[in-house]
Amino acid sequence: MLQRLYVKNLALIEEVEVELQGGLNILTGETGAGKSIIIDSISFALGEKVDKNMLREKDEAGFVELVFTDLSDAVMAQLCELEIEPEDRSVILSRKITGGRSVAKINGESVPVSRLKAAAGCLIDIHGQHEHQSLLHASKHLEYLDDYAGAELEEKKHTLAGAYKAYMSCKKQLEEQCTDKEEQARELSFLEFEVSEILAAKLTPHEDEDLEAEYRRMINSKKILEALGVVEQATGENGASSMIGRGVRELASVSAYDGELEGLSDQLAQIEDLLTDFHRDLTGYMDRAQFDGERFAQVESRLDELNRLKSKYGQTIEAILEACEEKQARIEQLKNFDAYEKKLREQYEQAEQQVAKLCEQIRTLRKQAAAMLREKMLHALKDLNFLDVQFDLQFCETGHYSANGSDAMEFLISTNPGEPLRALKDIASGGELSRIMLALKSVLAENDEIDTLIFDEIDTGISGRTAQMVSEKLHTIAKNHQVICITHLPQIAAMADAHFFIEKQVIDAATVTNLTLLEEEASVAELGRMLGGVAITETVLESAREMKKLAMQAK
């Protein structure tokens, strides 16, 4: 679960640190107090983009840290697959933004934002204020069904993705084949000319590198020889060699008088030998380094030829030779085109059959999952005060293959007796969409291995008895998941296992947002504010206490 949240220097938040709890965590506060900023901060820490204008103090870094503890075995396994090793079943995600640059870390180690997002996908699910609007788009419905279907379908879709890629490759190759005999003859003739040109060059790997090195030596031979001449003079008989030889003789003449001098004499003699060897090698190099005009012309001509071939067939000798092999293979295909085309068509048909088979298997799995999802959604919707609801999933085929199969699917619903099933976008109101999304999230949560769920104002457009039923559904989800919920409704807030109050204050002429865990009486007072508005009378507080008592009984 998300145990600790720390936010610094973002929007209205100067610095906030809060310890969250298991079960149902409720966040309430006045409109504009900064409730959405809390969710935005969490989203930022999980890898989402953030406007640099969110920085409270432009010259200071914004920072968010999330500490997740008591990770389940399933989440531990998912993180290990991402090569993230939790310590004591805990993981720390953090992100810092300075100007336009952000730094993401997992357990103190800097990571790409993409990896942070991957980790976040295992740990937390955020339902934003407007996410229920996605129910208006039928294209999203299949994603929700696939999420419910789980691992078996996911594995089958992974297999389909590979088969579909092979199928599209075969299809592309088949479509690119030219069946015009004259065009084939022209292509064959041109390819044979290119292969002949490459083979005639008799290329060898790394030949260009060796020739370029030789060319550099030859074109700079004058400068090299001038430098070596200076070295030869400095180290030869008129230079260091002569002086060291004299030193050897002088030391030898006196070394008999002191044993310590024998060691110095031996060292200098070794230096003389090394210098002699060096001088011999230097002289040999200078003899070989004389400029050869004929060889220079040969090297220059060969490099010109290689560069010409590179401009046509590849940037390296290896690339040219590889291109030659590809052209030779194409020549064989053209010379035996009928057999090649037949084989390619057979491969295409086999690939298509494999894709079709997998699409059918995926459709079967989806329909099996759809039947179960339908029953669970009906139950969940009735729990949310849809008393005479009908719900179904309508399948159709797209008429083409894709890496996701060949299915299209849409949720259908009827919320009133006697009305036919129709698409969600045609009949559902804003409040109904919120409840339908909550029902869907509650059903998905049964199969979901994510420990923490966040609902940002799931109560849009609902009130009264419906709000009470929504609060009970959130409590049910919170039995197996940590739930963090921002709400404006006292019925939902009363169900909290931990109630946090978000308030906006003016401190030293600056507006800041704070987050406080409320004790029992403070929670009742906040419920009173939500119930009574400006004037919080004793009667309102009694109503708040009664609401809290009823919520405890409902648990």
Give residue-wise pLDDT tens across range 4-53: 999 998 888 888 899 999 999 999 988 777 777 888 888 889 888 877 67
Q: Same domain, yes or no, for 108 and 189?
A: no
Q: How many domains does the chain have?
A: 2
Burial of 147 (0-12, 13-18, 19+ CB in 10 A): middle
In a domain, 495, yes or no: yes
Same domain, 59 and 195: no
Which one of 156-165, 266-275, 303-312, 544-553 scores highest in mean pLDDT?
A: 156-165
Of the three residues 311, 335, 359, the one that is the final residue of a domain is 335
Q: How far is CA 353 from the centre of its chain?
A: 33
Identify whether 417 is part of a domain: no
Biggest alpha carbon distance in the chain?
127
Q: What Å distances lie between residue 397 and 138, 139, 359, 400, 402, CA to CA?
A: 14, 13, 10, 8, 11
* pLDDT on residue 179: 64
Task: Judge whether 306 lies within some domain.
Answer: yes
Tell whether 19 and 99 lie within a shared domain: yes
242 band by pLDDT with thresholds 50, 70 and 90: confident
pLDDT at 534 (0 to 100): 67
Composition of the chain by helix, strand, coil, percent to 5? 60, 20, 25
What are 62's two structure tokens?
């914004």
Looking at the fold, whether 216 and 101 belong to one and the same domain comes out as no
Helix (H) or strand (E) holding 426: helix 424-427
For residue 491, CA distances in Å to 127, 218, 439, 477, 483 come to: 20, 90, 18, 16, 16
Of 272, 303, 335, the residue at which a domain comes to its end is 335
Domain end (from 335, 368, 403): 335
Let me know if residue 500 belongs to a domain: yes
Q: What number is the average pLDDT over the span 187-198?
A: 90
506 confidence band (pLDDT: 50, 70, 90): confident
Residue 428 confidence class, pLDDT cut points 50, 70, 90: low
Cα–Cα distances (Å) from 26 to 431, 455, 479, 525, in that order, read: 20, 10, 15, 15
pLDDT at 533: 65
Q: What is the pLDDT of residues 129-182, one digit of tens each?
A: 666 677 888 888 999 999 899 889 999 999 999 999 999 999 988 877 766 677
Is residue 118 domain-shared with residue 196, that is, in the same domain? no
Do 226 and 111 fall into the same domain?
no
- 485 — pLDDT class (breaks 50, 70, 90): very high
Mean pLDDT of the chain: 87
Q: What whole-number percentage of the chain has pLDDT above 70?
A: 97
CATH number at residue 124: 3.40.50.300
Q: Amino acid letter at 245?
A: G
18 pairs with which residues across the strands? 5
The answer to the question of residue 401 being in a domain is no
And the tokens for 9? 């220097």
pLDDT for 48 equals 86
220 lies in the same domain as 327: yes
pLDDT tens digits, one per residue of 324-356:
999 998 888 888 777 877 888 899 999 999 999
Long-range contact pairs involving 108-113 (C-beta distance under 8 Å, separation at least 24): 113/47
Same domain, 211 and 109: no
- Give residue 257's identity as a one-letter amino acid code: Y
Rounded Cα distance, 116 and 106, in Å: 7
Which residue range forms the structural domain that includes residue 64? 2-129+450-518
Q: Which amino acid is at 333?
A: Q
Place of tokens 């996701």: 404
Give the chain's length.
555
Task: Look at residues 423, 427, 425 and name the one whose alpha carbon lies nearest to residue 412.
Answer: 423
Is 100's pLDDT higher than 80?
Answer: no
pLDDT value of position 129: 61
pLDDT, position 416: 82
| 13 beta partners | 10
For the segment 79-87, the average pLDDT, to the nearest whole number, is: 89
Check whether residue 207 and residue 312 sit in a common domain: yes
Q: How far is CA 270 from CA 238, 239, 274, 281, in A?
A: 19, 17, 6, 17
What integer is the mean pLDDT of 190-208?
Answer: 91
Structure tokens at 400: 């083409």
Looking at the structure, tell me whether residues 118 and 209 fall in a common domain: no
Query: Does residue 189 sit in the same domain as residue 324?
Result: yes
Q: Above 80 in pLDDT, residue 76?
A: yes
Higher pLDDT, 527 or 508: 527
In this predicted structure, what is the pLDDT of residue 501? 93
Q: Are the CB atoms for 107 and 87 separated by under 8 Å? A: yes
248 pLDDT tier (thresholds 50, 70, 90): confident
Alpha helices in 124-206 (DSSP H): 138-149, 151-176, 181-200
Does a structural domain hold residue 94? yes
CA distances from 337 to 189, 236, 513 (A): 14, 73, 74
Question: What is residue 394's predicted lDDT score, i.e. its pLDDT?
Answer: 94
CA dihedral (66, 69, 72, 76) positive or negative? positive
Mean pLDDT throughout 265-283?
Answer: 84
**Confidence band, pLDDT 50/70/90 cuts, at residue 244:** confident
* pLDDT reported for residue 225: 77
Specify the DSSP element, H or E, that contains 497. Answer: none
Mean pLDDT of 252-265: 79
Count of alpha carbons within 13 Å of 147, Cβ hemisphere only?
A: 17
Amino acid at 343: K
Helix ranges restricted to H, 4-112: 35-45, 73-81
CA angle in degrees (0–180, nearest 5) for 479-480-486 = 70
In a domain, 474, yes or no: yes
Exposed, middle or buried by CB within 10 Å (0-12, 13-18, 19+), for 538? exposed
pLDDT tens digits for 356-412? 999 999 999 999 999 999 999 999 999 888 888 999 999 999 999 999 999 999 999
The answer to whether residues 195 and 329 belong to one domain is yes
Query: Is there a domain that residue 156 lies in?
Result: no
